[in-house]
């Protein structure tokens, strides 16, 4: 065989005939010799030949000669296709472009790759179920985020919006190994989200996905006690709108009657539980779930039915109806634990328990009013006064002793050193069940289910001395109603005061053909000496087949919520503040006329897992 070298050194100027002969000879060479002559494919590239120059156009100097067709058959009778050339023996005949599968077939592309990607750049990868790089899958478990809210996270060079709580799988553009940072790019409304592990170490070898947790905590929370002794957690979002923070409710016990919240919302205190004479302490988790932390056993006849937390979160008060006492507990600011500070009886002159109920009393106290059964508590916003309402229609006022002024110890069976008795009265007589609330000045607002009036009792002007038996049982300390508002229809079930708009809201319940409910609003009038004037319109539309009970104002006065035991659910309304009232009143109109009015939020009612009994907001 003539060598390739002799062809390249001794050949005459290239003619079409010589070119065809040279091409036929090269077709019998090896892949290495073809590359040496410039007629083969580069390793790793497609074997598709480049387009040849148009007929009659010469190739440019220095360029590779254009490929040509196979040699034309010799003239003669038409026969079948020309037989394929027989490869020559030797090392040159190892492979040919026509017979090499790698050269004849284009290389297979990876799933999701972009064939048009620029050389040297990574082609964008479409989401697939299998990881493209070992250890790059990221599994995020989000907890405590309501379904209607989303959080934006950054993982490597990729951002993603995660909506609601649940499990999410991502394919971020992580390198094969190293340490990468995870962070929250945009927090959801009304909540703060944090990664349990802000940095993750990537494995170079394939394995299980990287698992991290993202915990979201609502800016404010609300806790609702349901019938049967269950407690459910809600997030307080924009405009005071409630949304279930956890899909479950914790069972505390069938004897649960009321609840209160610590200042940081890390602890929830429930009156009762598995036993009537107990206090249950719940730990509020960051994901909205609750956990029973401790059950505090109380004396046998001490059955709490109402709770109230002081504004500074230092003292918890409990009203016990069976043995007619009010108990005080110090709250540990670090652990939320309770320390008993003593009690005060509501039926004796000096606050000690009646005979037979207090073994440590040095003498039997005198019983003043055996019907004084406490079941309502209210604390004024300044934390100076504790008001106790009883089933017989009487109301007592106690001064709350500041924490720093309390003695270290008190005698057994004595009234607590956290309280000091001030005065007592019966604003409606011995009739229906009362609802209590406090205005911004510390005055007590009272509504009775059997009386169509709302009365405001002036706050005690100065702390009083412990009264004698005759003084406490008489009218020496009368409580006179200084301002009165009239309930238009139905019986009052609950009271709530909004200090922002200085408005009072009364939940009403009426029975005609069926139960119906509404909320009536009043506004304090400075021109009338602080008297109550009905809002216009005075009530929200009456809702049929509903039974509104307890009512509360969300922190900041953004919304008013009322518990509906018949739905069951929570009705929620937006409170029109000064800015919104000015925008809606129009030119020339007084915005004060609209200030304090209620508008239904969207949704107008939030479903609960059971009939709601009580609600407590994070301060």
**CATH entry, 298-486, from 1.10.150.120, 3.20.20.70, 2.130.10.10, 1.10.3720.10:** 2.130.10.10
- The dihedral sign for the CA sequence 180, 181, 186, 188: positive
Please tell me which residue, 334 or 86, carries the higher pLDDT value.
Answer: 334
**pLDDT at 102 (0 to 100):** 37
φ and ψ at residue 478, rounded to 5 degrees:
-75, 150
Whole-prediction pTM value? 0.67
Is the predicted pLDDT of residue 41 greater than 80, yes or no? no
Average pLDDT estimate for 355-376 = 56
Answer for the pair 472, 352: CB distance below 8 angstroms, yes or no: no
Mean of all residue pLDDT scores within the chain: 73
Distance between CA 152 and CA 292 in Å, rounded?
33
- Our separate counts of H helices and E strands in the chain read 6, 38
**pLDDT at 559 (0 to 100):** 94
- Quote the percentage of the chain above a pLDDT of 90: 29
Condensed to tens digits (0 to 9), the pLDDT of residues 455-465 reads 888 877 544 44
Distance between CA 524 and CA 184 in Å, rounded?
45
Please tell me which residue, 318 or 470, carries the higher pLDDT value.
Answer: 318
Answer for the pair 272, 256: CB distance below 8 angstroms, yes or no: yes
Distance between CA 558 and CA 554 in Å, rounded?
6
Condensed to tens digits (0 to 9), the pLDDT of residues 236-271 reads 887 888 988 877 899 999 999 999 999 889 999 999
The most confident of the ranges 261-270, 465-474, 483-492 is 261-270
Condensed to tens digits (0 to 9), the pLDDT of residues 416-427 reads 567 877 787 788
Is the predicted pLDDT of residue 411 greater than 50, yes or no? no
Is the predicted pLDDT of residue 551 greater than 60, yes or no? yes
**pLDDT at 26 (0 to 100):** 52
**pLDDT at 527 (0 to 100):** 66
Lowest-pLDDT range of 438-442, 474-478, 580-584: 474-478
Is the predicted pLDDT of residue 106 greater than 80, yes or no? no
Distance between CA 474 and CA 426 in Å, rounded?
11
Omega of the bond leading into 154 within 30 degrees of 0 (cis) = no
Lowest-pLDDT range of 277-291, 293-307, 354-368, 455-469: 354-368
**pLDDT at 432 (0 to 100):** 67
Strands 531-539 and 278-284, how do they pair?
unpaired
Select from 17, 16, 20, 25 the least CA-distant residue to 5: 25
Answer for the pair 390, 319: CB distance below 8 angstroms, yes or no: no
**pLDDT at 369 (0 to 100):** 56
Average pLDDT estimate for 477-499 = 81
Lowest-pLDDT range of 41-50, 270-279, 319-328, 519-528: 41-50
Q: Give the contacts of 375 (CB within 8 A, at least 6 positions apart).
A: 305, 306, 319, 321, 389, 390, 391, 433
Is the predicted pLDDT of residue 11 greater than 60, yes or no? no
Q: Residue 78: which pLDDT band, with cuts at 50, 70 and 90?
A: very low
Distance between CA 51 and CA 46 in Å, rounded?
13
- CB neighbour class for 16 (10 Å; exposed up to 12, middle 13-18, buried from 19): exposed
Average pLDDT estimate for 210-232 = 91
Distance between CA 56 and CA 75 in Å, rounded?
24
The most confident of the ranges 368-382, 401-415, 472-486, 493-507 is 493-507
Distance between CA 290 and CA 587 in Å, rounded?
50
Neighbours of 34 (CB within 10 A): 19
Q: Write the CA distances from 349 to 76, 352, 354, 392, 465, integer angstroms.
A: 138, 8, 10, 17, 12
Is the predicted pLDDT of residue 499 greater than 50, yes or no? yes
Is the predicted pLDDT of residue 296 greater than 60, yes or no? yes
Q: Residue 192: which pLDDT band, with cuts at 50, 70 and 90?
A: confident
Q: Residue 585: which pLDDT band, with cuts at 50, 70 and 90?
A: low
**pLDDT at 19 (0 to 100):** 52
- Quote the percentage of the chain above a pLDDT of 70: 63
Condensed to tens digits (0 to 9), the pLDDT of residues 47-72 reads 444 444 444 444 444 444 444 444 44
Answer for the pair 219, 190: CB distance below 8 angstroms, yes or no: yes
Lowest-pLDDT range of 193-197, 233-237, 262-266, 432-436: 432-436
């Amino acid at each position: 065989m003539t060598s390739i070298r002799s062809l390249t050194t001794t050949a005459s100027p290239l003619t079409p005939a010589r070119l065809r002969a040279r091409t036929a000879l090269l077709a019998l060479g090896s892949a290495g010799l073809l590359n040496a002559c410039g007629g083969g494919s580069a390793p790793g590239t497609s074997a598709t030949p480049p387009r040849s120059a148009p007929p009659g156009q010469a190739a440019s100097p220095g360029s590779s000669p254009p490929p040509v067709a196979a040699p034309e058959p010799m003239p003669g009778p038409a026969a079948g296709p020309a037989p394929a050339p027989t490869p020559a023996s030797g090392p040159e005949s190892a492979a040919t472009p026509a017979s090499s599968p790698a050269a004849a077939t284009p290389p297979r592309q990876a799933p999701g790759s972009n064939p048009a990607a620029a050389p040297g750049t990574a082609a964008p990868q479409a989401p697939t179920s299998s990881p493209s790089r070992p250890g790059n899958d990221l599994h995020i478990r989000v907890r405590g985020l309501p379904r209607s809210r989303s959080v934006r996270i950054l993982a490597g060079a990729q951002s993603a919006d995660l909506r609601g709580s649940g499990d999410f799988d991502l394919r971020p553009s992580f390198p094969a190994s190293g340490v990468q940072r995870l962070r929250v790019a945009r927090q959801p409304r009304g909540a703060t989200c944090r990664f349990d592990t802000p940095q993750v170490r990537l494995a170079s070898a394939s394995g299980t996905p990287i698992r991290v947790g993202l915990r979201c905590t609502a800016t404010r929370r609300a806790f609702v006690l349901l019938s049967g002794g269950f407690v459910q957690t809600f997030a307080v979002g924009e405009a005071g709108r409630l949304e279930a923070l956890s899909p479950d409710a914790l069972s505390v016990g069938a004897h649960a009657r009321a609840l209160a919240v610590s200042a940081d919302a890390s602890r929830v205190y429930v009156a009762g539980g598995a036993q009537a004479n107990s206090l249950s302490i719940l730990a509020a988790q960051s994901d909205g779930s609750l956990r029973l932390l401790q059950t505090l056993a109380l004396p046998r006849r001490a059955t709490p039915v109402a709770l109230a937390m002081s504004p500074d979160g230092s003292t918890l008060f409990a009203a016990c109806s069976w043995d007619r006492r009010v108990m005080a507990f110090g709250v540990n600011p670090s652990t939320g634990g309770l320390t008993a500070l003593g009690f005060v009886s509501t039926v004796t002159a000096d606050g000690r328990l009646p005979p037979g109920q207090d073994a440590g009393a040095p003498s039997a106290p005198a019983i003043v009013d055996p019907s004084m059964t406490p079941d309502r508590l209210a604390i004024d916003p300044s934390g100076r006064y504790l008001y106790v309402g009883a089933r017989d229609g009487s109301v007592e006022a106690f001064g709350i002793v500041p924490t720093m002024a309390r003695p270290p110890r008190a005698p057994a069976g004595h009234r607590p050193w956290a309280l000091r008795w001030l005065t007592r009265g019966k604003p409606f007589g011995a009739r229906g069940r009362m609802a209590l609330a406090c205005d911004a000045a510390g005055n007590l607002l009272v509504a009775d289910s059997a009386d169509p009036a709302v009365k405001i009792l002036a706050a005690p002007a100065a702390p009083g001395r412990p009264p004698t038996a005759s003084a406490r049982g008489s009218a020496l300390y009368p409580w006179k109603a200084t301002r009165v508002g009239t309930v238009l229809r139905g019986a009052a079930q609950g009271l709530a005061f909004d200090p922002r708009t200085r408005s009072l809201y009364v939940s009403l319940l009426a029975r005609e053909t069926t139960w119906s409910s509404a909320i009536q609003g009043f506004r304090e009038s400075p021109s009338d000496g602080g008297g109550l004037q009905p809002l216009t319109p005075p009530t929200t539309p009456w809702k049929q087949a509903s039974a509104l009970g307890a009512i509360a104002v969300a922190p900041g006065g953004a919304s008013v919520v009322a518990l509906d035991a018949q739905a069951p659910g929570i009705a929620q309304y937006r409170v029109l503040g000064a800015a919104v009232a000015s925008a809606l009143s129009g030119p020339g109109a007084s915005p004060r006329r609209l200030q304090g009015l209620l508008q239904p939020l969207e949704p107008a009612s939030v479903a609960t897992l059971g009939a709601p009994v009580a609600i407590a907001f994070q301060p």
